[in-house]
Structure 1
Amino acid sequence: MSTIDYAKARELMVEQQVRPWDVLDPRVLDVLSTLPRDAFVPAPHRALAYTDIPLPLAHGEFMMKPVVEGRALQALALGAQDTVLEIGTGSGFLAACMGRLAREVVSVERHADLADGARAQLTAQGLANVNVVHADALAWDAGRRFDAICVTGAVDTIPQRFIDWLQPGGRMFVVRGRSPAMEAVLLHNDAGQPRIQSLFETDLPYLAGAAPQPVFEF
């Protein structure tokens, strides 16, 4: 079996998937071009690290497609002084990207083993400014506010507690709605009033506890 040239695969991912999907921010493209996504992918799926598909993690969780990660990073427009909250660490790859772009990242993960695995990879990549917290974001208290929030699982409606964690003028990337026609949006916390900017249509698995309530028909 031939070994995969991950550096070449990474370059092709950026040029053939991410850039054609209107991800043109040079800082975002630089991070996606240099951070080894393959290091964050579970071993059985590592050969698919740079393909245009969601990749399975433990507990039925998934890594988002690279194009969605790229669009999320571009929409958040993270600055070097920004503090970021990520809801749903998963593999830790998106947290690592944001750690390269922002001052500080706090990432919340409800599965202890995923949190541990992400911490190990973040340490291996030398990202000391990313802190992974093992907690359920729908029951956890941040105790502070952030400049930006990235939610990696879909929600039926955006929880008020997430909005409360935004600084005035802060912004949140989140996917909302009902499968299969979900909408990725950027929520701007303007003067305490949320303003929604529609970004693109996609389809993501729901964040645990944030799926629509079942409707019973008699």
Structure 2
Amino acid sequence: MNYEQARFNMIEQQIRPWEVLDSQVLSLLAVVKREDFVPPAKKALGFADMEIPLTSKPGQCMLAPKVEARILQDLAVQKHEKVLEIGAGSGYMAALLAHRAQQVITLEIDADLAQLARNNLKKAGVYNAEVRTGDGAAKLGQAVSSSDPLSGPFDVIVLSGSVAEVPPALLAMLKTGGRLSAIVGFEPMMRATLVTRVGETAFRTAQAWDTVAPRLLNFPEPSKFNF
């Protein structure tokens, strides 16, 4: 398989048409080798317009390339910024974020996937991304000490999966001017949601595009029934 041609086709045929036009994002997608983060048995699907399963467990997958690219464009991560990702998967999104940020901490609930992400990031020469094994829904705001990087605050928070609603505990971990990206809602249609902290208790929310993504584990699922 010609990986360079497949990567070019992915960018030109999937990602650009999905309104990802930021030249820095497009250049980054050409540099970070997505195929190195895809399970060996699924390498032929590495550039396909689809989610790629990472384990036999439901929901543990790489998001579609155009979704990852659009999230990266929306966040406009800067070189001085500190990023938290929930849902490391194979480490690909963390690698993209690390190329844009000063520091990335990424949480993964599955211990085997967390180790896979560490190995993949090391092989890719990414050293400013730290993978931690843990339940992102449970550990937020529970860092061991104030010197623990997980205590925040963060310039950017990325949920690499969907939630029913954005947890307030996550918004509290944003710096003023910080941004949170999440895919919010219920199937068959969810909204890509970008929340910006504009003050101590003030937030601005934008929902610019629709998609669907597997659930992140253990985040609250409010009842859809109204009484």
Deviation at 1:215, TM superposition (A): 6.0
Deviation at 1:49, TM superposition (A): 0.2
Residue 39 of structure 1 is matched in structure 2 by: 36
Q: Which structure 2 segments of 5+ residues have no match?
A: 143-149
Percent of aligned positions with the same letter in both sequences?
Answer: 37
Q: Which structure 1 segments of 5+ residues have no match?
A: none
Q: Which one of the candidate residues 6, 9, 12 is aligned to 2:9?
A: 12
Kindly report the root-mean-square deviation, in angstroms, between the aligned alpha carbons of the 2 structures: 1.4
Residue 73 of structure 1 is matched in structure 2 by: 72
Residue 196 of structure 2 is matched in structure 1 by: 188
Separation in 2, partners of 1:213, 1:160: 14
SS at match of 1:117: helix
SS at match of 2:138: coil
Deviation at 1:212, TM superposition (A): 2.6
Separation in 1, partners of 2:26, 2:224: 42
Alpha-carbon contact 1:156-1:176 (below 8 Å) kept: yes
Separation in 1, partners of 2:189, 2:29: 27
- Provide runs of 4+ in structure 1 moved above 3 Å: 213-217
Alpha-carbon contact 1:154-1:210 (below 8 Å) kept: no
Aligned length: 214
Q: Deviations over 1:94-126 (max 9, x none)?
A: 000011111110000011110000000100111
Residue 49 of structure 1 is matched in structure 2 by: 46
Q: Deviations over 1:6-63 (max 9, x none)?
A: 1110011001110111101111101111111011011121100001011101132111
Q: Deviations over 1:41-91 (max 9, x none)?
A: 111211000010111011321110000000000000011111110010001
Instruction: State the AA in 2 paired with 1:19.
Output: R
Residue 173 of structure 2 is matched in structure 1 by: 165
Q: State the TM-score, normalizing by the size of structure 2.
A: 0.91
Alpha-carbon contact 1:106-1:132 (below 8 Å) kept: yes
Q: Which one of the candidate residues 195, 204, 210 is aligned to 2:213?
A: 204
Deviation at 1:133, TM superposition (A): 0.6
Alpha-carbon contact 1:96-1:130 (below 8 Å) kept: yes
